Structure 1
Amino acid sequence: MLDLLQPFLQTKVGSFVGSVIFAVLVLAITFLLAKLVNRVMRRLVDRHRKSNSGAATVLGFARYIAVAAVYFAGVMVVVYSIPLLSSAVRTLLTAGGVIAVVAGLAAQEALGSVVSGMMILAFKPFRMGDVVRYIDNDISGVIEEITLHHTAIRTWENKRVIIPNSKMNSSIIENADYADSKVCVFMQIGVTYESNIDLAKRLLAEEILRQPDFMDVRTPEQKSAGASAVQVVVLELADSAVTLRASLWAKDNSTAFSLKCAVLENIKKLYEQNGIDIAYPHVVVLQQ
């Protein structure tokens, strides 16, 4: 069989057919290898993400570089296996100066995002899993992915916001998990002027202390000095309400949200049982 194919492959048509078959095989192997690398890297990212390790961000970024390198290597093998394509590439490389300038201008924004992605990876202003707020557009959510070109934020509505790395790197980002994941949420409640303010403050503080998710952040010195674990203050004497503000500390942003919801529900019931009225706008119409 090989003896019959040998003369055919030495002809121009045979050489072309052989090159095409070789190119198809290389591209198929490249595609399968890229899928394998992508799957292995994704599993590594998921494993480190579950352990809340910072390596997940690095591996997530490296995954795209590894897949791109596999595709680039496969394409180069195909190009240099076909004489016509190989000569065309050499001609392009000879005029590389002009092409580099044109390509640089055309891909300036894309290259800027790649460089910005590397800077994010190096300086770590945020990483995968961090709760952030993109202040410029008031977008809040969780960093789900950092690619070569963009950062994906999963919002609280389970939508994905795709922001180029160049914009993420140059904007002001509020990171709830940077250095310390503890969160303090201020909860404000307005009670009527006729209500017992001292009782309202005490009930609110006691309700917060009853919550298992509440975190006591007092220092040992503050504890020995008898400082209260929950700070409830009169924030404002408004037109129709006395505004109370309580500080709710929790281990992270999602826990703080759940804590605030639980306190709001329970304190309404407690205030109703103890004759404390929560203020709300209302109009009294006098009939003549």
Structure 2
Amino acid sequence: MRAGSVWLFQTTPTPTQAGTTTDLGGLLPVQIPVWVMQLLTALFVLTVAFLISRLLVRLLGRRIAQRFRRPSLTRTALRSIRVGVFILALLTVMNIYGLELGDIALSVTVFSAVIGVILAPIVGSIISGMFLLADQPYEIGDMIELADRNQRGFVEDITLRHTKIFTMDNTFLVIPNGEIRQRDVINYSAEDPRIRLSQGFLVTYESDIQQARTLIERAAQSCEGIIEGGPDIRIGAARYPASPTAYIDDFADHGVLLTLRYWAMEPYKLLTVRSRIQTAVWDELEDADVEIAYPHSHLYFDETSGEMQVSMAEESADPRDGQTLDELDEEREG
């Protein structure tokens, strides 16, 4: 028998044929290299590991979800189970090829260099992911906004390395956890999806201000998605009216600024809600003694403004009228 190979015969193995298997038809011996047997065994081990990981996820998935009650922690735990199974499978494959952990261990210097140069960002993101899962600034399904980018979207997935956001423009945004922990993140739906918004309306000084405030509040109450009234809503130690309220905010240059504060039921269609309120207010103020102000300027002239004399004559008394420039030049030179 050749070294590094396996012979298959139809006949019963003899002592000199130790390690051989049965035939492939009984006509000719078939040589199977050892690396082929190792490869087939490794593929078998990986296949079994894949099936075991799927089985464990199916059996333990519901129990883990009931235990943590948070989608991000549930997904992280299930991923850890899959990774653990495949690590065991990888160690088994290493044993098949005759490798030990000591055979592939690097020196302390080389290992430190690899960690510092290549793995440092990955390790930093994983550590940041652990802090995110522990601090719970947002959860899968929450609507968040990155303040520095002015991008708003829904959290699609949270892993130990990155956070995936499904933006309002139907695009995916993947941000490493090490970067997202350094940014200001606004969570619109952490616990209470209701959100308080403000909207300004500038009316002229000649308008009926009290009537304008009443009509603006009534217009906002008629819009869909707006909390019409009810008990005050508490934020920390303060309480705010639940119904829309218009305040006199400022006496501006071109009119009186009225600021409407109102509560939207959901933060998912803020632009739509603002547009509805703008339309309703426009309709309410159309026939009222209220006029929307706009920037304009008035010019006044009095005795202190100075004067400028301007005269126009149909015919000029200058005898040189009608002469060309060349003729005037010749006349000067003469």
The one-letter amino acid of 2:87's match is: F
Contact 1:141–1:154 under 8 Å retained in 2: yes
Offset at 1:124?
0.8
- The match for 1:247 is 261
1:148-207 per-residue CA deviation (whole Å, 9 max, x = no partner) reads 210112221122211111122233322223343321011112223333222211011112
Q: 8 Å contact 1:155–1:161 — kept in the other structure?
A: yes
Instruction: Say yes or no: does 1:178 pair with 2:193.
Output: no
> 137, 156, 162: which one pairs with 1:144?
156
Alignment-derived partner of residue 70 in structure 1: 85
In structure 2, the CA distance between the partners of 1:19 and 1:195, relative to structure 1 (3 Å rule), is same
CA contact 2:163–2:174 (8 Å) conserved in 1? yes
Match of 1:192 in 2: 204
User: Which residue matches 2:288?
Assistant: 274
**Aligned partners of 1:39 and 1:274: how far apart in 2?**
65
Instruction: Go from structure 1 to structure 2 and tell me whether the alpha carbon gap of 1:130 and 1:191 turns closer, same or farther (over 3 Å shift).
Output: same
- Whose helix fraction is larger, Structure 1's or Structure 2's? 1
Q: Does 1:133 align with 2:136?
A: no
- Distance in 2 (CA, whole Å) between partners of 1:281 and 1:71 is 69
Taking the aligned partners of 2:149 and 2:72, their CA distance within structure 1 comes to 24
Pick the aligned partner of 1:24 from 43, 63, 66: 43
Question: Residue 182 of structure 1 contacts residue 252 of structure 1 at CA under 8 Å; is this kept in 2?
Answer: yes
Give the SS at the match of 1:132.
Answer: strand
Deviates more, 1:232-241 or 1:112-121: 232-241
Query: For residue 165 of structure 1, what is the amino acid of its counterpart?
Result: N
Q: Secondary structure at the match of 1:107?
A: helix
Query: Aligned to 2:248, what secondary structure does the other structure show?
Result: strand
Instruction: Please list the CA deviations of residues 209-244 of structure 1 after superposition, one character each: whole Å capped at 9, or x if unmatched.
Output: 233533346449xxxxxx783321121222223221
Match of 1:194, SS? coil
Identity across aligned pairs (percent)?
21
Higher RCO (CA 8 Å, separation ≥ 6 residues)? 1
Aligned to 1:102: 113
Whose Rg is larger?
A: 2
Q: How far 1:81 moved relative to its partner?
A: 1.0
| Aligned counterpart, 1:224 | none
Count of residues paired in the alignment: 267
Residue 114 of structure 1 aligns with an amino acid whose one-letter code is I
TM norm structure 1:
0.77
The separation in 2 between residues aligned to 1:120 and 1:202, in whole angstroms, is 46
Aligned 8 A contact 1:37 1:67 in 2: no
Give the structure 2 partner of residue 202 of structure 1: 214
Deviation sequence 1:78-126 (CA, Å, 0-9, x none) = 122112xx15x42223x45345423321201101111111111112111
Q: Contact 1:58–1:121 at 8 Å: present in 2 too? A: yes
3-state SS of paired residue (2:181): helix
Shift of 1:14: 4.3
Counterparts in 2 of 1:275 and 1:130: CA distance versus 1, 3 Å: same
Structure 2 gaps, min length 5: 1-9, 22-30, 234-240, 300-334
- Amino acid of the structure 1 residue aligned with 2:149: N
Contact 1:92–1:99 at 8 Å: present in 2 too?
no
Given the alignment, which residue of 12, 15, 19 partners 2:34?
A: 15
- Give the AA of the match of 1:276: V
TM-score with structure 2 setting the length: 0.67
Shift of 1:255: 5.7
Which residue, out of 94, 117, 131, partners 2:129? 117
Is the 8 Å Cα contact of residues 220 and 280 (structure 2) preserved in structure 1?
no
